[in-house]
Structure 1
């Protein structure tokens, strides 16, 4: 089972994530490509909360397809195009992860693959099952 922790020698996290995750084999590692605010039928949603919510639904669907649980997520990487969305991102992250706190990186970028995209969320998981 991955060990989620905050070493005393590192700064305390600014929100609900951990500074380190240690994984040991045997197990399965799953990396979900960056997910965006596009529905499975191809519709790009409008607005930050709508896109971020859909990106989370897409990422969690990838976990479900491999029978991997939310608590198996060990790292998240988020790329947003506007700095004013961090509070909304944290709220949605906490809602979708149901309190689980993996390692986390949040980056503001100049743009994503399409000019209407506002966020992209990449997820990494490790399961012993």
Structure 2
């Protein structure tokens, strides 16, 4: 097993499990004493509640909204240890990956992608939820 340590949070990689299909880690280990933040599912909705018809814009908004919640905890994309994304159309896979990669800027958390039949509002095409961690002496809330 190989691992990389960044701020004591370890990215786990092993040859005994399949390699990731895109830019995510096989696993992440958070040591004791770290702050952990869970960001509820965020969707592609504007601050005034509008749902854009454009799937690419919804993907951008979902990530912007999730990162805004994370920022409220004093964290940024580098603190994400697990990202879950739900999309309603397999044809949006390229949009999902390009948008995720742009917002994560090379950071590789553990991740799960599910293609689902629908979300809370039938106009929504994407939802993102996050788990982030920082050292106990890290960013304050």
Give me the TM-score of the superposition, normalised by structure 1. Answer: 0.96
Matched, 1:63 2:70: yes
Which aligned runs of 4 or more in structure 1 are off by greater than 2 angstroms?
none
Equivalent position of 2:55 in the other structure: 48
Question: SS where residue 46 of structure 1 aligns?
Answer: coil
For the residues of structure 2 that align with 1:37 and 1:72, how far apart are their CA atoms? 22
Does 1 or 2 have the higher relative contact order (CA < 8 Å, sep 6+)?
1
Aligned-partner Cα distance in 2 for 1:50–1:69: 21
1:23 and 2:30 are equivalent in the alignment: yes
Cα RMSD after superposing both structures: 0.9
Unmatched tracts of structure 2, length 5 or more: 1-7
Q: Deviations over 1:47-70 (max 9, x none)?
A: 211001000000110111111121
For residue 95 of structure 1, give the secondary structure of its aligned residue in structure 2.
helix
Name 2:117's counterpart in structure 1.
Answer: 110
- Deviation (angstroms), 1:119: 0.6
Aligned residues: 129
Distance 1:116 1:42 in 2: 12
Residue 113 of structure 1 deviates from its aligned partner by: 0.3
**Structure possessing the higher radius of gyration over alpha carbons:** 2
